[in-house]
Structure 1
Amino acid sequence: MTFSHPELGEFRAGSDPDTTVEREWTWCDKPIRLVLSKDGGSFEEAAVHALELKAKERLWNAEFTDRIHAELFDTWNDVWRQDDPEMGKAEWLGRMTMESLDVTAEGFFTAYYRDGDLFWGHWIEVFGKTDEGAKHASMMG
């Protein structure tokens, strides 16, 4: 399945070809993967929410990274840091790289980050909704 959007461009089938499409995209001047999910709606609805995020991407990016820092920094410092030097917020967050942004027709999003080996190769995800903000950040296996 493919999907074409006048502003977002051409999408190819995603990991679940019946419900997701994806394409390379730019977020804060860096390449990421954008995934749209029907999730009980349509790709068009998911695209509207992706464009909402993109319109204020710098603010959203700050919200994502603030949520990561608020919820995971102490865990890193207390459990994972071991012999690594102490780091401030900017340096710590600077090690992470956003890899993809998944957006659903209902406006839910998940931003996935590489951890820069802070958590020994685990993924970091930030979950939320376009009308409610970033709600939770967690480390994934």
Structure 2
Amino acid sequence: MSISREKSKFENRFTEEVIEITAVTGASGIGAGRGGGAKLWNASIPLIAWKNVLSTETKIEELRLEWQVNDEEWEQSKDILKKNTVVRLLVRRAENSMMLVKVLETAYKDDELEMILQESLKPVFYTDEVLGKFELDKSVKTFEKKVLWAGEEGNLYFDWDEDESGMKAALETAYALFENQEEWNMKIRRYAAKELTELANDWLQDNEEAEIDKITNDMFMELMKLDCISVYSDGDFNLFFFDGEMFWGHSIIVSGNINGDLTSAEIAG
């Protein structure tokens, strides 16, 4: 698809009318993505509240402020807006998003929006009677806390959900992992070693400074160190491990389900 068609397809999602608004940016800051074959980046930042300057009504709702940029423009636009800030903008509307037309002010004074911003900066906690108190990382909407699992310290994560039953279901996944943590730990490490030791030895051959000639399954399991655990409402989980430099600092990720299935072991990062 040509750049002009990409732009046209993007802009057609929004109304033609340009309006001036003041808004509060969210906690995650600016990000960008580009689909396969696309020439332009879709950049965006979340907004958590906004109002039309011609109206007295403030809308507290989450939506995305979006714009399109090429490679050079993306480098220039990474810092045009900051997270957790009151700003003044020209935009075009869509149902659940806005298209950025122009940044008018990056630090705007508005008492009402400033109160909303300050309220949004307060920490949010979730207390579980079994696992204790979690704090919300608002940039990714994930609850987290330090835990000790199978003798190693790491972080435990589950996603924020408007429906609390979804969070409780994710914690049920954590309960299963913690109840039989030593058994799960050995099962997960053996699986990772079975799937990845051969690959680790391939990487070893390219390491001219290596002090060993071969990585065994037992060595692989010993070199894995827990980083974090993510649990989900459907019983799925991901365990992330530091790689002991077997993959030059990449993470080892093992995925499975509390029904006993381990589905993948891979490296990332």
Q: TM-score, normalised by structure 1?
A: 0.89
CA distance in 2, matches of 1:74, 1:87: 8
Question: Alignment partner for residue 167 of structure 2, among 43, 47, 54?
Answer: 43
Residue number in structure 2 paired with 1:69: 193
The alignment status of 1:56 with 2:180, answered yes or no, reads yes
Tell me the percent identity. Answer: 25
Residue number in structure 2 paired with 1:88: 216
The alignment status of 1:11 with 2:11, answered yes or no, reads no
CA distance in 1, matches of 2:217, 2:260: 24
Determine if contact 1:38/1:104 at 8 Å carries over to the other structure: no
CA distance in 2, matches of 1:12, 1:38: 10
CA distance in 2, matches of 1:35, 1:105: 12
| 1:132 CA drift (Å) | 3.7
The alignment status of 1:116 with 2:116, answered yes or no, reads no
Question: Alignment partner for residue 25 of structure 1, among 135, 147, 172?
Answer: 147
Determine if contact 1:64/1:134 at 8 Å carries over to the other structure: yes
CA distance in 1, matches of 2:125, 2:252: 28
Gaps of 5+ in 1: none
Q: Secondary structure at the match of 2:267?
A: strand
| 1:52 CA drift (Å) | 0.7
Amino acid of the residue matched to residue 46 of structure 1? A
Residues 67-92 of structure 1: CA deviation (Å, up to 9, x unaligned): 11111111111x20125312322222
**Which structure has the larger Rg over C-alpha atoms?**
2
Residue number in structure 2 paired with 1:100: 228
Q: TM-score, normalised by structure 2?
A: 0.49
CA distance in 2, matches of 1:95, 1:49: 26
Amino acid of the residue matched to residue 157 of structure 2? V
Residues 17-63 of structure 1: CA deviation (Å, up to 9, x unaligned): 2xx21100010121110001257852111111101111111111111
Amino acid of the residue matched to residue 253 of structure 2? E
Q: What RMSD in Å do the two structures reach over aligned CA positions?
A: 1.7
Gaps of 5+ in 2: 1-123
